[in-house]
Structure 1
């Protein structure tokens, strides 16, 4: 099985392009409209989720079960995460560029998300939940981590109703590429941010 070389993946992300597997073939995408989640005060936590966060139903960890998070994201009737995608991102994780946020309880891993962090940008890839609110709680913790560590852009690829409740919004491909270029140029001196 061929892997996507890390430098190809990172180069694609820096140009606003990302891969997905469809029917056994690798496809590359750059959507006309791009989803973003704000990292400033516009980020919104719905009221019901605030209550769940106060209950602390999960132990939150980062980067302790990256492969398992990807497998959780792939465990659905239709998935774009094939073996090539899985192993390529696991390799990117080993190099310090791909990260997972995980929600654990006494029964094990209950949800989380993963994505690629490169030069001030987090490129969100996928999320999953086995128990109520797990992926949403992972997203809140992702935003906290990105804020604390100085990230400037949280890309969600496409905007969904699920993500819009957090203040997510869309920009055109042209506007996105301009934002991306600006953030990457500012962060050129620091290519790997953990």
Structure 2
């Protein structure tokens, strides 16, 4: 059995590409931020069955040191698996885009606006509603809120009048925002949230949005697959001080204009 004293010593690059890279029950804000800086994110077990399944499937790999335990926490490590996929889906802020049809709707009929960091907890809880598996546990949500209060975690909100209809949230490490989850109550609202995040982050000098897990949805937003070593190298080379992002409420239709800047406009074809 291998135990790493902290995320800084974890051999992420030598870990399996498609399974957990570590187990640790420590979901404290400090541990969470260090893990993201190492290119790792958590996936808490949603119930006892999932926790037991983690132990049954991965105990042998933990025993022989292929999957380490991180930290000195005495709590059950199998309650939280930690992941760092290889390859990693990322969106350069210049590549995030809206489809032509969604851009047309924003210009012609959708009276949406966007804001940043105005309803962080509400966005997180919307992202946890009716999700299966429910990986956004109360302990993780509490740590995310603490990191938001410290300026490390951010949300984008999409509004239809006074109604919150979509959003996205994630953690910022230097010039990268790792997007944890998104939601929508109107078709296209989560895509608008991501495009808005890209535009605001680009304005602040940011470079990448990390989508964490590959899917057709994130590919449709403009995500590219890069080797894990390239993503981790970027994290290690980026500054750790937060980039101040514009938080004002703005009309979403600006994202539909080619002159929106930084690529947060319309896809070249759809």
What are the within-5 Å matches in structure 2 for residues 176-187 of structure 1? 176-182=231-237, 184=238, 187=239
**Whole-angstrom distance in 2 between the partners of 1:127 and 1:68:** 12
- Cα deviation digits, residues 103-131 of structure 1 (max 9, x gap): 11235211100001121111111000011
TM-score, normalising length from structure 1?
Answer: 0.89
Q: Highest Rg: 1 or 2?
A: 2
- Cα deviation digits, residues 121-157 of structure 1 (max 9, x gap): 1111100001111111111111100110001221110
Aligned partner (choices 176, 200, 225) of residue 170 of structure 1: 225
Q: Are residue 100 (structure 1) and residue 155 (structure 2) matched?
A: yes
What are the within-5 Å matches in structure 2 for residues 50-89 of structure 1? 50-54=103-107, 55-78=109-132, 79-89=134-144
Aligned partner (choices 15, 21, 25) of residue 38 of structure 2: 15
Greater RCO, 1 or 2 (C-alpha within 8 Å, sep 6+): 1
**Whole-angstrom distance in 2 between the partners of 1:106 and 1:153:** 30
**Whole-angstrom distance in 1 between the partners of 2:215 and 2:111:** 25
Change (3 A) 1:58 1:3: farther
Q: Are residue 192 (structure 1) and residue 215 (structure 2) matched?
A: no
Instruction: Tell me what 1:35 maps to.
Output: 89
C-alpha contact 1:113 1:138 (8 A) present in aligned 2: yes
- Cα deviation digits, residues 18-37 of structure 1 (max 9, x gap): 11212342221111221101
Q: Secondary structure at the match of 1:157?
A: coil
Q: How many angstroms does 1:56 deviate by?
A: 4.2
**Whole-angstrom distance in 2 between the partners of 1:161 and 1:57:** 27
Change (3 A) 1:149 1:77: closer
**Any unmatched runs of 5+ in structure 1?**
none
By percentage of residues, which structure has more strand? 1
Q: Secondary structure at the match of 1:45?
A: coil
Larger mean CA deviation between 53-62 and 90-99 belongs to 53-62
**Any unmatched runs of 5+ in structure 2?**
1-24, 48-78, 245-270
Q: How many angstroms does 1:57 deviate by?
A: 2.8
